[in-house]
Amino acid sequence: MASWFRRSRPRAEAPTLTPRDTAAAALRVDLGELAPAPDVFLGHCAALHLTFIEQLTAAMANATRVADKDALARAVGTVLDRYRVLAVELERLHLDKTDVMQPHMAGVEEFKRRTEGGEWYEQVASAHVTIGFLTDFWIRLSGGVPGELGQRVAEALAEGDVQSPLHRILERAIAANPRLSSRLALWSRRLVGDTMLQARSALTLHADSSRDEAQIEPVFTELIAEHTRRMDRLGLTA
């Protein structure tokens, strides 16, 4: 079966979904064999959360309505709480944050640059799509981390609510200006390719790529299905 990632960086369309009942089976897929070592897992996840904080803070600074600034501030607070948990886990393992995060910074900064958006509504949509997708991914990936570390990280990443404040901002904006709908739908579709590649970069792949793809594909099918549900709730076509 063709890999999601064998083509060049997809920019215009998300991959075609398999039926929802098939995609739901991805919840049972074990990424244990593809999960990185705990230090790499934590370092990459923490580095991403720093860029999420920057992404949301920039959107908050550019917001013109107090209600939008407040919503984005609450989203920043939730992501910051998650980052603090990751930092505690690094300390628990006696790992230096700089040592384990720095190798990932160039990649996550490039990812942020490619997905940050050209204007404010695109910035908010970018945060909604990328943070939602990658949080879902890291929760699944944490199941392959040995010991209780993965469970603690999964619980921390599931704590709080980043998506609802962003959803409400976009929902209000689309209701006030329906012409935004098609533009944000297109922009959100363009984000999916880079976001999937960022997720895939966290996996430890083997020489037997066919075996890896057999594990990866159903997981990404479910992640895209959840992304589609988020877009559906906004009335956008994923």
**Of 1, 23, 141, 150, residue with least CA distance to 89:** 150
Max Cα separation, the chain? Answer: 53
Is 199 contained in some domain?
A: yes
Is 153 contained in some domain?
A: yes
Contacts of 18 (CB under 8 A, 6+ apart): 221
38 and 92 Cβ atoms separated by less than 8 Å: no
The residue with tokens 């897992």 is 41
Is 34 contained in some domain?
A: yes
Contacts of 201 (CB under 8 A, 6+ apart): 44, 107
Is 125 contained in some domain?
A: yes
pTM: 0.85
pLDDT in tens, 111-134: 999 999 889 999 999 999 999 999
The residue with tokens 């609510």 is 161
Mean pLDDT, the chain, integer: 87
Is 22 contained in some domain?
A: no
Please report which confidence band the pLDDT of residue 238 belongs to, taking 50, 70 and 90 as the band edges.
low
User: Per the structure, how many domains does the chain have?
Assistant: 1
pLDDT in tens, 171-215: 999 999 999 999 999 999 999 999 999 999 999 887 667 767 777
46: domain CATH number is 1.20.1260.10
Segments forming the whole domain that contains residue 90: 29-233
pLDDT at 146: 85
% of residues, the chain, pLDDT over 90: 75
Is 16 contained in some domain?
A: no
Selected residue with higher pLDDT from 10 and 132? 132
Residue 17 per-residue DSSP state: P
Range in 22-36, 96-110, 188-202 with the lowest mean pLDDT: 22-36
Is 141 contained in some domain?
A: yes
Is 6 contained in some domain?
A: no
